[in-house]
């Protein structure tokens, strides 16, 4: 899938049960995202950006409408199909890095490849490449607790990118980082996006992140209120 | 394989918590094997001693004889069958005549069992060679429990009063010529052994016996009129039941120990699943199915049992081997309880015992590890990723 639509969102509605009623987190969303985009879902807390990211990442299901990711409908997707999609084609980057504390940097990055049952030599090559992209080849044997916040997030990026996924979903990736580290992280992701044509979709309300986006989809109260391409 | 690798990483990563759980579980392994080894050792020793001292290779009992009913003793005797006489002459049969009698230790009346046995017998371990009369005195042997009970030693005389076959009372003094020490109280407490011939003439039952203990295979299970053959399975049935009862009692003890170890592992699993919810969410986001994640946590819990096996082997094997070498000393006075227990029990560890214990502990650990891990199936991965599950 070199070019073309990677995500199609049709009349998406997401409701969560609350007490006796329900809360509508996303309402009537219609979007298309093309391969290779560097796009931000932007909006204040509670606007629905993380919920949308989770549905796109097959971690949640739509209440109404449909989301099609790489020709796979998220509506009623089986757990097995969803896990295969995530394992083979999606990478995740989280606000709190979510690195496994008992593993070294190398082992953390290697983990997605173990799930893909890649050979030992193939894994080694891919892990070293990924760590080179993020500039952490000297930290291979370090444990997450020995790393700074910026370094931890770079490990998370390497872990998300090591299997060369078609799309990376990043939820507030710079929320716990200072300005310098935020820029470093974003420049890294921008470079990977350009070099590998990987689609990046961010959920963020951080201005430092927003200014790197080439497309900004603004959400408010679960609705798309603006969708703009940015010319850098 | 991935699950095992992950489990090992996480277990070593958990450090002291893992070590404590593993150590408690290793104690459960060793104690279960040790306790059952002692029971098996006791079983082995009790069977061996009882066969050696009391039952030989089986017994013919006169048909009306009931060892638990003293009122049957008076009439429970018959002529030693001709078919057994050749073995009797060679000492390959021990013929025993049983009667009730009364003795008067320190002026008090005490009812005993008077037993006559052929001195030349080579069937049971009783020291019947000390029943050979050197003069007119009647030689007698007693067990050490009986000697303590009536306060007599070798060389002492004991007055014995009995009733003969015609119902007439008579009395005679017997001389203690031997005191034997045995682990089998059934041939010791409350009994005096004298030569068979002497007893036959005292009772007036020439050539008769109450029970006949055999040594050779060829003398077993013959069709002898008036006599019933009892093999080991019948003779040892009561003892087997008693040892089985003891095993059940011990099982309660080691189940409590196992339950404590399992509680620790259960708690660790619950805590681990709660603390590592971000990791669980991340596993799912990276493409693991919930079932795979449950598998990882179940294997991780079960690995405690495998590690405990290694740790238990490190300190348990030397301990159990040493115990097998020196034996397990029984408390003072246990031989007065009527049980066939030696002063020191040598434990017996069978392959079935060791494998059975390993399988029991591993399966129990796997179940206990799986139970809290099932909670993962109900987790919302989005909340788990952000550590929001309370």
pLDDT in tens, A145-193: 999 999 999 999 999 999 999 999 999 888 888 888 889 889 988 998 9
pLDDT of residue B389: 62
pLDDT of A1 reads 45
Confidence (pLDDT) at B334:
64
* CB contact (8 A) between residue B382 and residue A103: no
Give CA–CA dist B121/B134, Å, rounded: 18
Beta-carbon contacts of B352 under 8 Å, excluding residues fewer than 6 positions away, are: none
> Which one, of A191, A171, A183, lies nearest residue A207 by Cα?
A183
pLDDT digits (tens, 9 = 90+) for A38-62: 999 999 999 999 999 999 999 999 9
Distance CA B365, CA A217 (A): 51
Question: What is the CA angle B89-B93-B96, rounded to 5?
Answer: 110
Interface confidence, given as ipTM, is: 0.90
* Beta-carbon contacts below 8 Å between A and B: 62
* Tokens describing residue A38: 């560097």
Contact: B287, A94; criterion CB under 8 Å: no
Interface touch A102/B13, C-beta < 8 Å = yes
Which candidate, B121, B75, B281, places its Cα nearest to that of B215?
Answer: B121
**What is chain A's mean pLDDT, rounded?**
92
Mutate to test the interface with B, among A55, A61, A83 (most CBs of B within 10 A): A83
CB contact under 8 A, B288 and A83: yes
Tell which of B7, B276, B279, B286 to mutate to test the A interface (max A CBs under 10 Å). Answer: B286
Please name the member of B13, B286, B382 whose beta carbon is closest to the beta carbon of A101: B13
Whether residue A80 and residue B289 make contact (CB cut-off 8 A), yes or no, is yes
The least confident of A1-5, A130-134, B185-189 is: A1-5
Q: Which residues of B touch A112 (CB under 8 A)?
A: 286-287
**Which residue of chain B has the CA closest to A159?**
B286
For the segment A184-213, the average pLDDT, to the nearest whole number, is 92
Tell me the CA end-to-end span of chain B in Å, nearest whole number.
Answer: 31
pTM for this prediction: 0.72
Closest CA of chain A from B283, distance in Å: 9
Whole-number Å distance between alpha carbons of B232 and B4: 50
Distance from CA of A117 to the nearest CA of B (A): 9
Domains defined for chain A, CATH in brackets: 37-61+72-229 (3.40.50.300)
B239-244 contacts: CB < 8 A, separation 24 or more?
B239/B46, B239/B47, B239/B50, B239/B340, B240/B43, B242/B339, B243/B39, B243/B42, B243/B43, B243/B46
How would you write the pLDDT of chain B (390 residues) with one tens digit per residue? 777 888 888 888 778 878 888 898 898 889 889 988 988 888 888 889 999 999 999 999 999 999 888 888 888 999 999 999 999 999 999 999 999 999 998 888 999 999 999 999 999 999 999 998 778 899 999 999 999 999 999 999 999 999 887 888 899 999 999 999 998 888 998 999 999 999 999 988 889 999 999 998 788 878 888 999 999 999 998 888 887 787 787 778 778 878 888 888 888 888 888 888 888 899 999 999 888 889 988 998 899 889 999 999 999 999 999 999 998 887 766 666 666 777 788 999 989 989 988 998 899 989 988 988 888 877 888 888 877 666
Contact (Cβ atoms closer than 8 angstroms) between residue A160 and residue A188: no
List all residues 6 or more positions away from B22 whose beta carbon is below 8 Å from its beta carbon: B304, B307, B308, B311
What would the pLDDT profile of B280-334 be if each residue is shown by its tens digit? 899 999 999 888 889 988 998 899 889 999 999 999 999 999 999 998 887 766 6
Distance (Å) from the alpha carbon of B376 to chain A's nearest alpha carbon: 14
| Amino acid B158: pLDDT | 94
Q: What is the CA radius of gyration of chain B?
A: 31
Task: Tell me if B222 sits within 8 A of B87, measured CB to CB.
Answer: no
- Please give the pLDDT value at position B244: 79
pLDDT band, residue A65 (cuts 50/70/90)? very high
- The domain ranges of chain B are 2-52+238-385, 59-230
d(C-alpha B170, C-alpha B203), whole Å: 9
Q: Mutate which of B13, B287, B300 to disrupt the A interface (most A C-beta within 10 Å)?
A: B287
Q: Taking a C-beta distance cutoff of 8 angstroms, is the pair B13, A101 a contact?
A: yes
Q: Which residues from chain A sit within 8 angstroms of residue B386, using beta carbons?
A: 94-96
Interface test with B, best of A69, A91, A98 (most B CBs within 10 A): A98
> Within an 8 Å CB–CB cutoff, is residue A59 touching chain B?
yes
Write out pLDDT tens, residues A104-115: 999 999 999 999
Name the DSSP class of B183: S
Q: Please give the pLDDT value at position B328.
A: 84
- pLDDT computed for residue B25 by the predictor: 86
Comparing CB atoms, the residue among B281, B289, B385 nearest residue A83 is B289
Indicate the residue of A92, A96, A112 with minimum beta-carbon distance to B278.
Answer: A96
Q: Which residues of B touch A (CB under 8 A)?
A: 2, 5, 9-10, 12-14, 278-279, 281-282, 284-290, 381-382, 385-387
Q: Which residues contact B293 (CB under 8 A, 6 or more apart)?
A: B280, B283, B284, B376
Task: For helices B237-275 and B351-373, give the axis angle rounded to 10 degrees.
Answer: 30
Task: Tell me, yes or no, if A102 comes closer than 8 A to chain B by beta carbon.
Answer: yes
Spell out which residues of chain A touch residue B279, defining contact as CB-CB under 8 Å. Answer: 98, 100
């Amino acid at each position: 899938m070199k070019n073309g639509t990677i995500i199609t969102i049709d009349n998406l509605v997401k409701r969560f049960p609350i007490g006796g009623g329900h809360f509508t987190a996303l309402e009537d969303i219609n979007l298309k995202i093309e391969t290779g985009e560097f796009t931000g879902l932007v909006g204040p807390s509670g606007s629905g950006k993380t919920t949308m990211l989770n549905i796109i990442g097959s971690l949640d299901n739509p209440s109404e409408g449909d989301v099609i990711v790489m020709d796979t409908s998220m509506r009623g997707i089986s757990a097995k199909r969803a896990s295969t999609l995530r394992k083979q084609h999606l990478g995740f980057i989280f606000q709190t890095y979510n690195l496994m504390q008992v593993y070294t940097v190398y082992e953390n990055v290697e983990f997605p490849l173990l799930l893909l049952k890649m050979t030992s030599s193939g894994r080694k090559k891919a892990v070293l490449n990924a760590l080179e992209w993020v500039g952490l080849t000297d930290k291979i044997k370090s444990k997450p607790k020995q790393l700074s916040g910026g370094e931890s997030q770079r490990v998370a990026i390497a872990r998300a990118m090591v299997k060369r996924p078609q799309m990376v979903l990043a939820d507030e990736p710079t929320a716990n980082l200072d300005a310098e580290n935020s820029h470093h992280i974003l420049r890294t992701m921008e470079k990977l996006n350009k070099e590998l044509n990987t689609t990046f979709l961010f959920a963020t309300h951080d201005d430092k992140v927003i200014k790197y986006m080439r497309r900004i989809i603004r959400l408010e109260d679960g609705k798309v209120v603006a969708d703009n391409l940015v010319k850098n | 394989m991935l699950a095992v690798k992950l489990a090992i990483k996480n277990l070593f990563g958990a450090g002291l918590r893992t070590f404590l759980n593993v150590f408690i579980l290793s104690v459960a392994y060793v104690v279960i094997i040790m306790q059952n080894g002692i029971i098996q050792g006791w079983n082995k020793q009790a069977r061996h001693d009882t066969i050696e001292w009391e039952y030989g290779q089986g017994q013919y009992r006169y048909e009306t004889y009931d060892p638990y009913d003293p009122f049957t003793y008076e009439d429970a005797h018959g002529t030693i069958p001709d078919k057994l006489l050749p073995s009797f002459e060679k000492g390959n049969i021990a013929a025993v005549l049983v009667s009730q009698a009364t003795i008067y230790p320190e002026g008090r009346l005490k009812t005993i069992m008077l037993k006559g046995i052929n001195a030349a017998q080579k069937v049971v371990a009783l020291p019947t060679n000390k029943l050979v009369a050197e003069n007119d005195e009647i030689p007698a042997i007693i067990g050490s429990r009986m000697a303590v009970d009536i306060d007599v030693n070798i060389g002492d005389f004991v007055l014995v009063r009995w009733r003969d076959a015609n119902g007439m009372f008579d009395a005679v003094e017997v001389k203690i010529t031997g005191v034997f020490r045995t682990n089998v109280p059934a041939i010791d407490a409350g009994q005096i052994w004298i030569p068979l011939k002497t007893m036959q003439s005292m009772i007036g039952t020439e050539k008769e016996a109450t029970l006949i203990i055999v040594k050779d295979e060829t003398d077993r299970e013959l069709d002898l009129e008036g006599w019933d053959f009892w093999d080991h399975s019948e003779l040892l049935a009561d003892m087997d039941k008693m040892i089985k009862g003891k095993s059940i009692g011990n099982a309660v003890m080691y189940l409590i120990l196992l339950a404590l170890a399992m509680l620790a592992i259960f708690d660790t699993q619950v805590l681990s699943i709660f603390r590592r919810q971000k990791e669980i969410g991340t596993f799912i986001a990276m493409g693991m199915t919930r079932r795979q994640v449950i598998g990882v946590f179940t294997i991780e819990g079960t690995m405690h049992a495998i590690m405990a096996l290694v740790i238990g082997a490190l300190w348990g094997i030397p301990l159990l081997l040493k115990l097998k070498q020196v034996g397990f000393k029984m408390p003072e006075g246990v031989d007065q309880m009527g049980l066939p227990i030696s002063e020191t029990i040598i434990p017996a560890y069978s392959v079935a015992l060791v494998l059975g214990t390993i399988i029991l502990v591993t399966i129990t650990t796997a179940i206990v590890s799986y139970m809290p891990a099932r909670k993962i199936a109900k987790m919302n991965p989005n909340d788990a990723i952000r550590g929001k599950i309370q």
